[in-house]
Amino acid sequence: MKTPRAAEDVSPNLRPRQQTRLDEEINMGDAHDARAAGSPEAAASNGGTIPPRRSSGSAAANTPSQATSQAAPAPDVTTQIMQMMMMQQQAMQAQQQQFQAFMRQQALFQREMFESQARANTQKQKADPPKFNGKSSEDLELWLFHIEEHLSAYASERNSPDSRFVDMVVPFLGPEAMSWYREFKNTLGDSPRVWAVFKQQIQLRFRDSDYDYKLLSKLHNLRVSGTQQDYTSNFMLLLSQSSMELPEMVKRWFYQQNLRADTSCHISQNIPKTLQEAIEHAQRFEDARSARPRDTVQPVQPAGNKKTGRASTAPTTRPSSDATKPPIICHRCGEPGHIAPACPNRGTTGMQKK
């Protein structure tokens, strides 16, 4: 059934007999135009070439391509959005890294501040080491050790390749040593005054050239003048001042050769391999010696008990003081035992003798 086309707006200028066309008429007109275009006459008029027919399928196929070409700008917008998101994410990561670096810097600053305060408090509690005046009677090695222990909180500055640690040591130099330091500073010029170089140069200046030989002589001549502990302390003090690395057997020989004969013999029986073992054996032997009981004095036995070997336990009787007095004699009758007023012979006169 043919459906009439939707009514078109009637123009006021239409001809009286003009009417709206139906769909069938329109289709028939299109088919007629196509046949006319494909006819030989039309081909001859177009230069002898027949234009290809355009099918409905090709027309339908062109429709999606046209839609795709119209929607082509969409991927560009998506790419721009993704790029913007990536840039924002990178900016956020950069901000986080900057914040973390700032926090690490703050933590490092606070830790250094606390360490400096702790070192300052520790230094206040320590007594200042003695000044080194450069005299021959002073122990340079002991003074250097004292300085390092006093400034032990500044170990990083002591090992650093700059002049900070030496600058802290300079106030503990006496007049003569300070004169040497002025020369030492002028010699180095702009070079840093490292602690290792300072120690080496001050030892060359104020220590004897045959220092090690004299030190070994002191170890050889050391004697036991007090307790074993005192001897060990003096020996270790001299040994700590040596700049040479002595073998353990040599250290043991220096320690043992001046001990008491019985103590040295006891150490040799145990065959120690190190100095520490020899010190322990000597100390234990001396402790055992002091813990021995002293000899007890035996009581003198009386002469009457030599056969039995036992002391007499019977109490000895002392003579009474009355036995030493002369007897009482009566002056009236001459008889002992009573005095004249109590004489029974008071009626008689004179002395009656039996």
The whole-number pLDDT of residue 164 equals 93
The whole-number pLDDT of residue 70 equals 53
The whole-number pLDDT of residue 139 equals 84
Q: Quickly tell me which residue has 């046209």 as its tokens.
A: 66
Write down the mean pLDDT value for the chain: 75
Kindly indicate whether the domain formed by 211-290 is annotated with CATH number 3.30.360.
no
Confidence of residue 59 (pLDDT cuts 50, 70, 90): very low
Return the higher-pLDDT residue of 106 and 7: 106
Q: Residue 56 pLDDT > 50, yes or no?
A: no
Looking at residues 201-222, what average pLDDT do you find? 88
Confidence of residue 291 (pLDDT cuts 50, 70, 90): confident
